[in-house]
Amino acid sequence: MVPSVTTPRRLLLVNGPNLNLLGTREPEIYGSQTLHDVEALTARTAAEFGFEVRSVQSNHEGVLLDAIHAAREDCAGIVINPGGLTHTSVVLRDALSGVALPVAEVHISDVLAREEFRHLSYVKDIAVVHVIGEGVSGYRTAVIRLLEVITGRAEG
């Protein structure tokens, strides 16, 4: 997708259930950085490309769906860490597919090296970018790769 004059210069950052506990929840798996750190890193990275970020985190699936639906109006793409919804939510997958925006899926831990149930991702075939197991810095990678797709510098 090559941006036109009317392409919004905004990304939606979606963080799913339990990601509000970053920094205190299982730091041996997720590290010590907080959700605020994630949001600040994402905003700084997007700003390097002249984009802004709207962030949403919720433990309630419907709130995330509403934010994804609203992104159709004013966002060029979505960076999402669906948390546990990755492995369980067909409706989240359908929302991402339905808005027809490029999506970057990011996971702080290496979900493929964890429990078997974490190997399934309902988002995998919707996302044009996948960043797994890079810790919080993976959000930076996800933003850069997604913006390369959005601006036409890379294929998704």
Is 130 in the active site?
no
Is 36 in the active site?
no
Residue 31 is given by DSSP the state -
Out of 36, 60, 69, 107, pick the active-site residue: 107
Instruction: Answer yes or no: is 55 a known binding residue.
Output: no
Contact 56, 30 (CB under 8 A): no
Instruction: Answer yes or no: is 109 a known binding residue.
Output: yes
Instruction: Answer yes or no: is 118 a known binding residue.
Output: yes
Instruction: Answer yes or no: is 153 a known binding residue.
Output: no
Query: How far, CA to CA in Å, does 20 sit from each of 47, 58, 72, 125?
Result: 23, 8, 25, 26
Taking phi first (over 0 means left), then psi (-120 to 50 degrees means alpha), and beta for anything else, what does residue 136 get? alpha
Instruction: Answer yes or no: is 145 a known binding residue.
Output: no
Instruction: Answer yes or no: is 36 a known binding residue.
Output: no
Out of 30, 69, 119, 122, pick the active-site residue: 30
Active site residues: 30, 107
- Residues making up the annotated binding site are 81, 87, 94, 108-109, 118
- Residues making up the annotated binding site for substrate are 81, 87, 94, 108-109, 118
